[in-house]
Chain A
Amino acid sequence: MTQYTIVTDLNRCVSCLNCMVACKEANDVPIGNFWIKILRVGPNPKFEGAEYPDVEMYYLPVSCQHCKNPSCVEVCPTGASHKTENGTIQVDKDKCIGCQFCVMACPYGVRYLNEEQGVVEKCTRCYQKTQEGELPACVVSCGGRARWFGDMDKGWDDFRGSLDANGEPLRLTDEDYIKPFTDADVHSLPDSGNHPSDRFILRNRVWR
């Protein structure tokens, strides 16, 4: 099995917004719509009763989570939204009737109706690039080298990120770039039964 996944090291994400613009360019996303958005979580008090400056914060880049049990696919009447062999969820625009039930069914609000085309769109995980062996735009462009792409079924060793000076993608296992983390530091977005596949690494603070 293959499960293409993006892992974001939230301790390295500084909200440079590169992923948002690189995505727009790579995928011709209409103005006013986004395939990836960054939520600033906090600052919040570090613990109950804590006050400024005892606060903590992180930035959360959210795009389609390419769920294992995708609600969007379940509600799609035409099979336009479907799960592919590499574990990603894709929308076949020729089949989409624009009913937007998938938009309603997605817990993460990552789908929208492309008004001009009358079909629903979302992150394809840069399908046009990944099928050529390249990395998604949000991964290569990431200013803080926070985003990593790989096959979760193969484990952390498979994950690659932004390019090094020789043009080779860095590895998530390179501790010069990715500080050690434990299983407890690895999180996913809240699950309403859809089983999101993307993962977020967050050390030293409360995942909210």
Chain B
Amino acid sequence: MLDSSLTRRSFFKIAAATAGATLVASEAASTLLESSNPAYADAADDVKVIHSTCRGCGKMECGNLVTVRNGRVVHIEGDHRAVASRGNLCVKGRAAVQALYHPDRIRYPLIRTTPKGQDPKWRRVSHDEAIKYMADGLNSVIEKYGQHAIKTLHGTGRITTYATEAYPTYLLQTANTGSPAGVICKGPRLSAAAMICFPGAHWCNLIDGQKVNFQWGTNQEVSNYDNSCRVTVDEHVKAETTICVGPRMQNLGKEADIWLDLRPGTDDAIALGLLHQCVFNSNCHPDMMFVKKWTNAPFLYCEDIEPSGWTWAGWGDPEGKQEMGSYPLNVRTRILKESDLVEGGDVRKMAYWDTKSNSLQFFDTKKCLWQGQTEYQYPDRDKDCVEYKGGILAKDPGFPVDIDPALEGSFEVELKDGRKVKAEPVWEMFKRHLKPWDENHTSEITGVAPEKIVAAAEAYCEEPGKGGIVFNLPLEHAGNSIQTSMLPLMLSALMNNIDSPGGQRGCENMFFTMDTFFQYHIPWANNTLDPVEQAKVVGGDRFPLTPWFQMVGGAALYHDPISAAEAILYDDPYPIRGMLSNSGQHFNSGNAWQNWQAFESLDFYGGWELWHSPTIELADVVLPAAHFLEVSVLRYTQGGEGAIGAQVQCVKRQGEASWDSADICGELSKEMGYEYWPTQNKPLPVWPDKWMKPWPTEKDMLDMSVLPMNPDLPFPISVPAPDGTQLHVKDWDDYVAQYQEHSQWNLKEISPFGYYYRFQWGHFRPRNAEDQNAPFVPGFNTPTGKFELLSTLLESYHGKNTKWQEAPGSYNGIPGYREPVESPFSAPELYKEYPIILTSGRRNPLYFHNEGRQQPWLRELTPCPSFQIHPDTAAELGIEQGDWCWIESKRGKIRECADLFYGIRPGTIECDHQWWYPELSAPKHGWDLSNVNVLVNMDHESQDPICGTCNCRAYLVKVYKATPENSPFGNPCPCDDDGTEIIHTATDPRLKEWLPTYEYEVV
């Protein structure tokens, strides 16, 4: 019966009919922007469908089709042609119109009139006055306390707001920059991966399919975290075997063939257990060619020598350079180097034992050449390569010279001082480190049945190339974020799934694919900070790699929020007195109460926001941010699907809202006396002056973002796809016009993303920007040029006898296990009083973290927060389904209602995160009632020792029923300060007051 799908004509009919009923209340004449973009629907009675990209969440690039009628968005649906999303559009994207036209949006600049901590009683001011107020406020803090006295507060980055994250570094020269949320989400994964292979390696490509779909601590099917729900389900169903790791049965996890139901916070232990199987179980077959050729496993390690090394990622040195710049690191390793053996030997040449010649040889880690190798080896396009799903898939041609590096054994070598010492390949140490983690030991720690550990490993490791491991932030939350994030990558690497089809392909942070365009709209010509200044980042004394992590890109641009709060509250190590925020909340990382008190005490705080969310109510000035449907920007998948597209402004901006990243930052810098894009710093000497504009317009920025695709460039910037294809566009408008026709482009077709295993092709290391003829260097962009099973950076900074804390459980730089700081085993006394293990952060499809609580279509579907508890545990505590309960840690207590969930470990609860209540009064809007960050740690011990991630999960609480006796106002339901209940049912009449308005109040 349904031979035709949605026809355009009938679609309009329906859209018009339903939209007329639902959304368009009155037909106020609406003119559109000055822009000439043909995609805008600007004529009266006009209906247009604009191909754009959703930004309903912070992550996924879902292509969307936005129907605009008479200048209003009336309908949004998924774009079935979009390669990365396959027509997926989640509830957040669908309900975006309810954010765009929400009656409570901030639409005008506001300045507070009351002391902080009270309802700010905002006063509307002009845009110029607000900019000046903000500029003066920031300048006065800088004058008094210096550049680092300003910090940023940012939530999950949106491409549209990237400049806001990076801006303070570029312009104010503060090291306390970026998104502190990054430290608890994705930043550690990027950082850890940058240390051992490449930042972004945790991202998998799913659209190419996987034999084993391995979901570890994910909830992608509802979070759409870099792989859309639809693609995730498609590929989960198609996979031969599915493995899910997590302490609770997840939405898609219900379908998993193997569920590793670990105790919260033991992801590192289960990873070590799986690696043990991979290495020791005879049914597991790791790719030993990859191990020998591409990892540092064959390098000889000697415990008897002093660590030595060199300064890596030096200033101006392309090697070690990261997406955003470089920061010099001192590599100090006990891997045996030529300089240890021979006087005047090269410290960059690392020793291995060649079994063919039975001799000690050296790998030049600077040039990435084996002994005897003079030219780089690339796979032969005819002999070694096949086309696979539109990409070039090469089988490894083997060693370029006739060697076979030993992985096993022990070798006696003579040092340059004449001492004879034993050295052994890193692989031997790696095996020794894994040896204790057999299935029984792993089971004792993780609680997962031994046979399931074996089954999962045997399924994944049966043969190389079964696909990557998708792993997300639970691995970052138990006080061992960096090491834990390294381990799944190592498992994936042993099985040759680094940059394989369906493997760890990364994307956003990669060289050469990134060159397809410029950094969105960020001032690309800027240098970053002087390393001496950058080292002053708060927490840098404890987390010495943080300044380098800040170079890695994306969410790794963070600073430690706990140290920052201490700097604000106690001037330790120096005062932070000013803050800039953009969609950041004090409860996104660190303890919410500590942050609230800190931010309340700031001398100056300015920000730009869509909403009167709690934190901004502490600000001195707030500017209205434009909604994503009101902003054009280049869009690019940060994750492994590899697609590029456009977000297209669909409607005129409301009130005085402006594109925060480009407009506000630009104007603010001008007012503060800085050039937004400093004209003295050209990225290349040949860079034309016409592209150097100190205060570019929005159009300039958009044109610049697609500049590398311009066919008329005087010199090439972007690198084409394997078949030579590049995307050619004249300017931004041309790009948008082509996007309307084409939808998302698959980067495989237009960039080196078209090669799999790019480490073979030299695309994983940067190239000398000055020399277009410089060869691509195969290998990884790490100190050893290898995928590092022994992280030389971990060894250098957090190894034995360094100035900083040794990575817990590690073995000479090989990552290890750390028991959560508050656990039944590590804190038995505390456990007596707080006998429940809390985990948190399960995804609700409706809300992106703290967002969406005021959109009726979302809020009515989950009006209030709940926590999941095993029915037996609930029964012991006298708790029944739906009961409001207190959840109390040493730090504080909150209320959520009980969801009796048989799919969670007894003795463990899972709490909804990031709740606040827009219906309650300023300034708090009820953030302290149910927000799980009230409970989290703020002590140093529980932080990750390497990057400072606070301990967001796997800590101890007690849970008891909320009763009239133990609840304020005698009401177990959370209430405002005057006793007003929160919205907790779908039928609450306050929800209807939040329906779209088209004639918003002009304050």
Residues of A within 8 A of B (CB): 11-12, 14-18, 20-22, 24-28, 31-32, 34, 42-45, 52-53, 55-59, 128-129, 132-135, 140-141, 143-146, 149-151, 154, 158, 160, 162-169, 176-177, 179
Which chain B residues border A168 with CB–CB below 8 Å?
5
Which chain B residues border A154 with CB–CB below 8 Å?
1
Contacting pair A31 B991 (CB below 8 A): yes
A55-B249, A169-B2 given as contacts; is B94 within 8 A of A145 (CB)?
no
Which chain A residues border B252 with CB–CB below 8 Å?
14
Contact mask for chain B residues 5-18; partner A; CB cutoff 8 A; 1 contact, 0 none: 11100110110011
Partner of B237, one of A12, A21, A53, A150: A12
Query: Nearest B residue to A132 by beta-carbon distance?
Result: B10
Contacting pair A14 B80 (CB below 8 A): no
Q: How many angstroms from the CA of A107 to the CA of B845 in the assembled complex?
A: 29
Interface residues of B in 71-99 (CB under 8 A from A): 75, 77-78, 80-81, 83, 86-91, 94-95
Which chain B residues border A150 with CB–CB below 8 Å?
1-2
Contacting pair B94 A21 (CB below 8 A): yes
Minimum CB–CB distance from B895 to chain A (whole Å) comes to 22
Q: How many angstroms from the CA of A128 to the CA of B18 in the assembled complex?
A: 9
B713 within 8 Å of A (CB atoms): no
Q: Which 5 A-B pairs have the closest CB atoms?
A: A43-B903, A143-B229, A32-B987, A53-B261, A163-B80
A21-B91, A143-B230, A150-B1 given as contacts; is B10 within 8 A of A31 (CB)?
no
A59-B251, A143-B221 given as contacts; is B233 within 8 A of A14 (CB)?
yes
Most buried by B among A14, A26, A128: A14
Minimum CB–CB distance from A208 to chain B (whole Å) comes to 13
A52-B261, A143-B221 given as contacts; is B94 within 8 A of A18 (CB)?
yes
Question: Given A21-B861, A140-B6, 15 other A-B contacts at CB below 8 A?
Answer: A11-B255, A14-B221, A17-B861, A21-B91, A28-B22, A42-B903, A52-B906, A56-B254, A134-B10, A143-B90, A146-B233, A163-B6, A166-B81, A167-B6, A179-B237
Contacting pair A144 B221 (CB below 8 A): yes
B222 within 8 Å of A (CB atoms): yes
Which chain A residues border B237 with CB–CB below 8 Å?
11-12, 177, 179
Q: How many angstroms from the CA of A182 to the CA of B861 in the assembled complex?
A: 33
B846 within 8 Å of A (CB atoms): yes
Partner of A17, one of B4, B78, B846, B905: B846
Query: Nearest A residue to B261 by beta-carbon distance?
Result: A53
B3 within 8 Å of A (CB atoms): yes
Query: Nearest A residue to B2 by beta-carbon distance?
Result: A160
Contacting pair B259 A53 (CB below 8 A): yes
Partner of B14, one of A11, A32, A52, A132: A132
Which chain A residues border B229 with CB–CB below 8 Å?
14, 16, 143-144
B121 within 8 Å of A (CB atoms): no
Contacting pair B222 A158 (CB below 8 A): no
B860 within 8 Å of A (CB atoms): yes
B299 within 8 Å of A (CB atoms): no
Which chain B residues border A28 with CB–CB below 8 Å?
18, 21-22
Query: Nearest A residue to B447 by beta-carbon distance?
Result: A53
Which chain B residues border A59 with CB–CB below 8 Å?
251
Which chain A residues border B4 with CB–CB below 8 Å?
133
Q: What are 7 A-to-B residue pairs whose CB atoms are below 8 Å?
A: A14-B229, A15-B251, A25-B94, A27-B18, A42-B902, A134-B11, A143-B845
Contacting pair A17 B233 (CB below 8 A): no
Contacting pair A21 B95 (CB below 8 A): yes
B489 within 8 Å of A (CB atoms): no
Q: How many angstroms from the CA of A56 to the CA of B251 in the assembled complex?
A: 11
Query: Nearest A residue to B990 by beta-carbon distance?
Result: A31
B857 within 8 Å of A (CB atoms): yes
Q: How many angstroms from the CA of A208 to the CA of B138 in the assembled complex?
A: 62
Minimum CB–CB distance from A124 to chain B (whole Å) comes to 12
Which chain A residues border B845 with CB–CB below 8 Å?
15-18, 143
Contacting pair B90 A16 (CB below 8 A): yes
Interface residues of B in 894-941 (CB under 8 A from A): 901-906
Contact mask for chain B residues 259-278; partner A; CB cutoff 8 A; 1 contact, 0 none: 10100000000000000000
Contacting pair B17 A16 (CB below 8 A): no
Query: Nearest A residue to B856 by beta-carbon distance?
Result: A31
Q: How many angstroms from the CA of A185 to the CA of B973 in the assembled complex?
A: 42
Which chain A residues border B88 with CB–CB below 8 Å?
143
Interface residues of B in 236-259 (CB under 8 A from A): 237-238, 249, 251-252, 254-255, 259
Q: How many angstroms from the CA of A57 to the CA of B233 in the assembled complex?
A: 16
Q: How many angstroms from the CA of A21 to the CA of B88 in the assembled complex?
A: 14
Most buried by A among B5, B78, B986: B5
Contacting pair B233 A145 (CB below 8 A): yes
Minimum CB–CB distance from B869 to chain A (whole Å) comes to 12
Which chain A residues border B75 with CB–CB below 8 Å?
25
Partner of B251, one of A14, A52, A164, A176: A14
Minimum CB–CB distance from B741 to chain A (whole Å) comes to 14
Most buried by B among A11, A12, A18, A31: A31
Which chain B residues border A140 with CB–CB below 8 Å?
6, 77
Which chain A residues border B86 with CB–CB below 8 Å?
165
Q: How many angstroms from the CA of A144 to the CA of B261 in the assembled complex?
A: 24
Minimum CB–CB distance from A82 to chain B (whole Å) comes to 21
Q: How many angstroms from the CA of A150 to the CA of B3 in the assembled complex?
A: 11
Q: How many angstroms from the CA of A15 to the CA of B222 in the assembled complex?
A: 8
Minimum CB–CB distance from B12 to chain A (whole Å) comes to 11
Q: How many angstroms from the CA of A183 to the CA of B61 in the assembled complex?
A: 39
Minimum CB–CB distance from A7 to chain B (whole Å) comes to 14
B992 within 8 Å of A (CB atoms): yes
Most buried by A among B903, B904, B987: B903
Query: Nearest A residue to B857 by beta-carbon distance?
Result: A21
Contacting pair A43 B6 (CB below 8 A): no
B870 within 8 Å of A (CB atoms): yes
A25-B22, A128-B17 given as contacts; is B902 within 8 A of A177 (CB)?
no
B962 within 8 Å of A (CB atoms): no
Partner of B995, one of A21, A26, A31, A169: A31
B234 within 8 Å of A (CB atoms): yes
Interface residues of B in 210-239 (CB under 8 A from A): 221-222, 228-230, 233-234, 237-238
Which chain A residues border B233 with CB–CB below 8 Å?
12, 14, 143-146
Interface residues of B in 961-1003 (CB under 8 A from A): 985-988, 991-992, 995
Contacting pair A18 B91 (CB below 8 A): yes
